Amino acid sequence: MDKNLFEYAPAPESRALVSIKAQYGLFINGAWVEPKTKDKFATINPANEEVLSKISQASDSDVDRAVKAARAAYLKTWSKMPAKERGKYLFRIARIMQERAREFAVLETLDNGKPIRESRDVDVPLAAAHFFYHAGWADKLDYAGLGINPKPHGVVGQIIPWNFPLLMLAWKIAPALATGNTVVLKPAETTPLTALLFAEICQQAELPAGVVNIITGDGATGAALVNHPGIDKIAFTGSTEVGKLIARSIAISGKSVTLELGGKAANIVFEDAPIDEAVEGIVNGIFFNQGHVCCAGSRLIVQENIYDELLAKLKRRMSLIRVGDPLDKNTDLGAINSAAQLAKIKELSASGDTEGAFRWNPDCQLPSKGFWFAPTIFTGVTQSHRIAREEIFGPVLSVLTFRTPQEAIEKANNTPYGLSAGIWSEKGSRILWASKALKAGVIWANTFNKFDPASPFGGYKESGWGREGGRHGLAPYLKGTK
Amino acid sequence: MSRIDIKKTYKLFIGGQFPRSESGRTYEIKGANGKFIANPALASRKDLRDSVTAAKSALSGWSSATAFNRGQILYRIAEIMEGRRDQFVTEIIALEGGTAKAAHAQVEQAIDLWVWYAGWCDKISTIAGATNPIAGPYYNFTTPEELGVVGIISDQKVSLLGLVAAIAPVIATGNTAVVIASEKRPLSAITLGEALATSDLPAGVLNILTGKVSELAPWLASHMEIDGLDISGADSKVESELRIAGAENLKRIHRFNKSQSPQRMLAFMEAKTVWHPIGV
């Protein structure tokens, strides 16, 4: 193929859309405060390692301040406010987020490394939609089938990951506020900037002080939040390893918890699948957001008789993936979020080589600065390989094959995870059969990686506890409902 | 000369069979009046593992049975129990003490609870499922499904009603279960096993162990093939220990205070959401 056929002129989004402060404090009780210890850490742009800002490291006493502010706001303001009025604040937040959408998108791309096309078209619109959706629930909880006049927990501690920083914030804060809780939220250490911009939105929306508190820091800050006796409920999105630590910690404290954890999703392609659409879905399934997606379709399970055709088409499609400047509107695959994550991807990929799988990636030039990994597939993968069992959380796809539909399901379910799965087939009865047989919370049939505030999301088995989104996502934020 | 009673050997209920403990152990239980009643099996860790294997084997068949069929079988359990009312009453009085009236009430409530949950089998998905109005050309629905194998530590005091309140909601939705009966009052559980064995309930759907809760519960909590845990009958002092053990595979762990509630079903169900594009 002519190499220049798909060359584009650079089309970078303007950085001037967003102003980043040299440093940030903590957002507690509606105001910016300095951390007690004065400790700061840098947040960088993973695409070029440029320092974007200095972020506050919240200590135990800062966590305590934030929790007390949230408690006071809950008791004095938020729990006394009519639900209708509570909802109006959420509508306001949704609207301001829409108004400032481009700013959020650029900031997200700078701090996270994801392509602007994704932050602009997926992360930010979905985050705003999440607030809009939950705003409407605030005064309709009696009709949610969760009991009459259901009660919030009180103060919720929320910890979110770095892969969808603003979107995960919306998934956490919107249902918590709609159901009448107040919040202390800790964004991920490497991606705090959009959460801190969100604090500004809370101010612009005149949200009562203390209803939302944003504290930044590392795992120690998160642990302090989880273990604070003033927290009634914990909502965590992150690794299964940390999820289990939290599950053990609440065994003693008795706090209510929701966990959205890891995954190793099977994307099953049956012989009757629409191959071209399946290839698009496979690419979207594993290379969307650099594969930093807990529900990524990281195990491709292909029926043997279409393997050669599918693989040829997949490789051709992968060679068209544009890796590079995340702010460029043409970019498909951005930067890996951090040096630590890049090291993890490299280590697991190396295990694929040593355990006997075959690595392939298109010939693509990676930038010299920043953290990058080419879109990669491994073929000849068996179920015992680490790359078939462990979550890589990067743009690396493991390809396995099957002969019978039963074998496909067995392989797909052969994992401690159960977050999502994909099915590609033109046969309706087969899709419904496989949907039932797959042990996963979200099944995408003839599509992949679709999200919506009205659609419950969450995992079976070790992928977590509870659901987020839809009517089901309200239950974890209300007392006495499962 | 008066007739000599035929005394019953009380055994375990595993995979539809009534084995003794593989360990050969038994323990003595006494009645409310302090007199010897029976030597039921003192189940071992191996018996528990065998029960989990049986429950796991029964899972795919039971969970894929139609909700209508499961409802029929749960109702059948109520029918069979109704015919054995006197036996349940006698055993409750012997072990729990109390009045005949109270024992009758407990048995009747337990039977009626089966009927209540039998009717839920083909309704819970309607109530707890949804078609979700998402912003795009996709059909999207959520349906609750069985969790898998559930371990149950049955109520230690109210031996029959507490047991039925725990197992009926769990199996109504397609789960299978391993139950640790009331340690000191296990006769209701064993007799219930005999009723289950003649109720068209597939072998292995419910497995009942008698023995020491303190010995068996930690194995139940740490077993990696168990997906959920009802600790309503566990001592609150060991709750955190069980929860920590259960965290290893993120078991869904719950303690309940109501015997009749849809929450008892929903706690051991998982919501599954399916997307499909709409187009010509």
Q: What confidence tens digit (pLDDT) does each residue in A377-427 have?
A: 999 999 999 999 999 999 999 999 999 999 999 999 999 999 999 999 999
Q: Is there a contact between A287 and A333 (Cβ–Cβ < 8 Å)?
A: yes
Which of A316, A250, A321, A330 has its CA nearest to residue A290? A321
A260 included as an active-site residue: yes
In a domain, B94, yes or no: yes
pLDDT at A481: 74
Q: What is the DSSP letter of A123?
A: I
In a domain, B142, yes or no: yes
For residue B130, the chain A residues in CB contact (below 8 A) are 456, 470-472
A358-360 sheet: strands from edge to edge: A358-360, A376-379, A396-402, A299-303, A266-269, A420-424, A442-445, B269-277, B138-146, B130-131
Classify residue B25 by burial, with Cβ atoms within 10 Å: 0-12, 13-18, 19+.
middle
In a domain, B170, yes or no: yes
A233 sits in which H/E element: strand A233-237
User: What whole-number distance in Å separates Cα of residue B76 and Cα of residue B201?
Assistant: 9
pLDDT at A457: 98
- Selecting from A248, A450, A465 the residue whose C-beta is nearest the C-beta of B138 gives A450
Residue A102: CB atoms within 10 Å: 16
A85 included as an active-site residue: no
pLDDT at A429: 98
pLDDT at A7: 74
Task: Give the gap in angstroms from C-alpha A56 to the nearest C-alpha of chain B.
Answer: 32
Q: Strand locations in A83-162, DSSP E?
A: 155-159
Question: Rounded mean pLDDT of B260-264?
Answer: 95
Dihedral sign of CA atoms A93, A104, A225, A51 in order = negative
In chain A, % of residues over pLDDT 70: 99
Task: Give the gap in angstroms from C-alpha B79 to the nearest C-alpha of chain A.
Answer: 31
We report the CATH number of the domain holding residue B41 as: 3.40.605.10
Task: Determine which one of A108, A118, A189, A260 is catalytic.
Answer: A260
Query: pLDDT tens digits for B205-218?
Result: 999 999 999 999 99
Q: Is the pLDDT of residue A446 over 80?
A: yes
Task: Determine which one of A13, A108, A202, A294 is catalytic.
Answer: A294
Contact flag A454-B135 (C-beta cutoff 8 Å): yes
Q: Is there a contact between A472 and A456 (Cβ–Cβ < 8 Å)?
A: yes
A482 touches chain B (CB under 8 A): yes
In a domain, B7, yes or no: no
| ipTM, 2 dp | 0.96
Residue type, A171: W
Q: Is the pLDDT of residue B38 over 80?
A: yes
Question: Rounded mean pLDDT of A285-299?
Answer: 98
Question: Rounded mean pLDDT of A245-267?
Answer: 95
In a domain, B86, yes or no: yes
**Crossing angle of the two packed helices A83-99 and A124-137, in degrees rounded to 10:** 170
- Selecting from A251, A443, A465 the residue whose C-beta is nearest the C-beta of B272 gives A443
Question: Rounded mean pLDDT of A158-184?
Answer: 98
Contact flag B250-A465 (C-beta cutoff 8 Å): yes
A464 touches chain B (CB under 8 A): yes
Task: Give the gap in angstroms from C-alpha A466 to the nearest C-alpha of chain B.
Answer: 8
Question: Rounded mean pLDDT of B36-41?
Answer: 97
A442 touches chain B (CB under 8 A): yes
pLDDT at A482: 61
Q: Is the pLDDT of residue A4 over 70?
A: no
- Using the CB atoms, write b or e for A224-256: b if 16+ within 10 Å: bbbbbebbbbbbbbbebebbbbbbbbbbeeebb
Q: Provide the CB-side half-sphere exposure for B213 (13 A, CA).
A: 25
In a domain, B2, yes or no: no
Report angle CA A137, A96, A129 to the nearest 5 degrees. 40
Question: Rounded mean pLDDT of B202-207?
Answer: 98
A326 touches chain B (CB under 8 A): no
- Using the CB atoms, write b or e for A387-396: b if 16+ within 10 Å: bbebbbbbbb
For residue B276, the chain A residue with the least C-alpha distance is A445
Beta bridge partners of A260: A237, A464
pLDDT at A252: 86
Q: Is the pLDDT of residue A198 over 70?
A: yes
Interface of B with A (CB under 8 A): 64, 127-128, 130, 132-136, 138, 140, 142, 145, 227, 239-244, 246-250, 252, 254, 263, 266-267, 270-277
User: What whole-number distance in Å separates Cα of residue B140 and Cα of residue B156?
Assistant: 44
**Helix, strand, coil percent values for chain A (each to nearest 5):** 45, 20, 40
In a domain, B16, yes or no: no
Total of domains in chain B: 1
Q: B113 lies in which domain range?
A: 29-277
In a domain, B14, yes or no: no
A259 touches chain B (CB under 8 A): yes
Q: Is the pLDDT of residue B1 over 90?
A: no
Residue B140: CB atoms within 10 Å: 22
A429 touches chain B (CB under 8 A): no
Contact flag B273-A471 (C-beta cutoff 8 Å): no
Pairing of strands A442-445, A50-56: unpaired
For residue B271, the chain A residue with the least C-alpha distance is A441
Average pLDDT, chain A: 97
- Selecting from A243, A247, A435 the residue whose C-beta is nearest the C-beta of B274 gives A435
Question: Rounded mean pLDDT of B167-195?
Answer: 97
User: What whole-number distance in Å separates Cα of residue B167 and Cα of residue B155?
Assistant: 11
pLDDT at B73: 98
Query: pLDDT tens digits for A174-192?
Result: 999 999 999 999 999 999 9
Q: Which of A89-93, A181-185, A297-301, B255-259 has the lowest mean pLDDT?
A: B255-259
Q: Is the pLDDT of residue B110 over 70?
A: yes
pLDDT at A1: 47
Question: Rounded mean pLDDT of A160-164?
Answer: 98
Residue type, A69: A
Q: A446 CB contacts (<8 Å, ≥6 apart)?
A: A273, A274, A277, A281, A423, A424, A425, A431, B276, B277
Question: Rounded mean pLDDT of A424-436?
Answer: 98
